[in-house]
Every structure is written in structure tokens, then in C-alpha cells.
Amino acid sequence: MVTPNNIPPAGLMSRGTEEIARILTSLHAKAELIAASLGDKLFRSQLLFIDPDRHYIVVAGPDDAAAKAAVLARSRLDFVAQFGGWHIEFAAGDPQTTTLAGKPAIRLSFPQAVIRHQRRAGERTQVPAGEPLRCIADAQGFAPFEGKIVDIARGGIGLLVYPSDITLEPGTVLKGCRVQRPDKEPIEVDLEVRYSTPLVLADGTHAHRSGCVFLNPTREVMELIESFSPAAG
């Protein structure tokens, strides 16, 4: 399942067709899972073919008729994948039904860019289920919403957002986010989104997992982080 565990640094964007093809070919060679959000559903697939002339790609198609209709109804699909310590994002448009080796497939336009984020290891601390941290994100913005903090580090947080119609684009700044702690005063901090990934939880719930960095970590924020560090136990 595509569920990144670490907040990556700023992404590396590749626009050259040969570099994009090289990255996609690596995903294809390793049969890596790619996934795209369909709103309240998650389209999981694999790359099946990369056009040598760089005009299109082919991915495995869904077996379910409703999922297939949802894919074809989109003007483009925003895919994410994990490969070799990197979080990879690319968009491909104009989905069309096709077959490859007798199996259902989806043909899409060749991506114009690929974004790569290198994942950092060993810095994240999971928030225990018995100590929930809620976050009222963008509390000073136009449309605040609630998320669940699933891990935390000095750099930022992993935020689980349940409404399927909310997708946080990389670079989005969430102003005045209020981190709500059990039996304690809320902590206010600004966050910047570094990535967002659609996923399906163990109970079948659809959500988005967003990695965010702190823009103005206060003393209270740092104390909160330290309280979840292994040394604090």
C-alpha cells in the first residue's frame, strides 16, 4: 500500500522526457505499485508499458466496472509511488480504455513532469493510538478542516485527513493550525504541505496522508515533539 512514513524535503522536478522515461521504466521494471485517488476510491495499478516515442504510457486497468468508469471520467490521474527510498509523483491525462496482452488496461498521455522526494529515515515517532492528537488545519484560512496527527518529528507531522474531497497540494500553507491535546491547551503553528498520498485504511475508510513541515515551531511545539520521543518514555 502506498503509505509514506516520512516527511520528504522539497521535491526534485524532472521535465525532460528521457529522465521521466528512466524513472517510469524503473517503476515498471520493479513492478512497483502506483496509486491515484478517485475521490472516495483508490485506483491501484502498475505501469505496463512506456511508449519509446514518449507519447503515452499504459497502466493496468481496474477489473471493477464502476472503478473503470471513474478512471475514464477523469481528465487526468495524479499518481504516487514509493521506490528506492523516494516518494514519486506524476500526472497523466486523457485516460482511454485499451488492452495489453489480452488484459484490460488504461492508456494515458506521457507525463510532462515527475516529482521526487527523498524520504528521511529514522526520524519519525508514531503517535500512540491511546494519545490522539487532532489538528484543526488552516484555522486562520478560508475553510478549516480537521485531521489526525499520526506521527511527529522536529521537522513536522504526518497528518491523516479523512474527507475524500480534500486533497492538499504540495506547497500549500496552512495558517494557524491548532494542535489539540487531551486535557491541555491547544498549540498553534503554521504548516506547509510537502506531499499528499491517497490511501485506504485497514477498516476500508478512504483518507489522504499528508506530510507537513513546521514553518514557525514554537517552544510549545518543540516540547510536544520531545514528549513523544523514545527518550521521553
Quote the strand ranges of the chain, DSSP E. 12-14, 34-37, 42-45, 47-50, 56-60, 76-83, 86-93, 96-100, 103-109, 114-118, 125-126, 133-137, 145-152, 156-161, 173-180, 187-200, 206-214
Residue 56 — pLDDT band, cuts 50, 70, 90? very high
Top pLDDT among 39 and 189 is at 189
Domains of the chain, by residue range, sit at 12-118, 125-232
**Domain spanning 125-232, CATH class:** mainly beta
The Cβ of residue 78 has, within 10 Å, a number of other Cβ atoms equal to 16
pTM for the whole structure? 0.54
Look at the domain 12-118 and name its fold. Answer: Pnp Oxidase; Chain A (2.30.110)
Amino acid residing at 137: A
* The two domains 12-118 and 125-232 share their CATH topology (first three levels equal): no
Q: Nearest Cα to 135, choosing from 147, 123, 124? A: 147
Check if the beta carbon of residue 125 is closer than 8 Å to that of residue 154: no
Residue 40 has pLDDT above 80, yes or no: no
Query: pLDDT tens, 158-193?
Result: 888 776 567 777 778 888 899 887 778 888 988 888
Q: How far, in Å, are 93, 183, 207, 211 from residue 43 at the CA level?
A: 15, 40, 13, 21
What average pLDDT does the segment 18-39 reach? 90
Measured in Å, how far apart are the chain's first and last C-alpha atoms?
A: 30
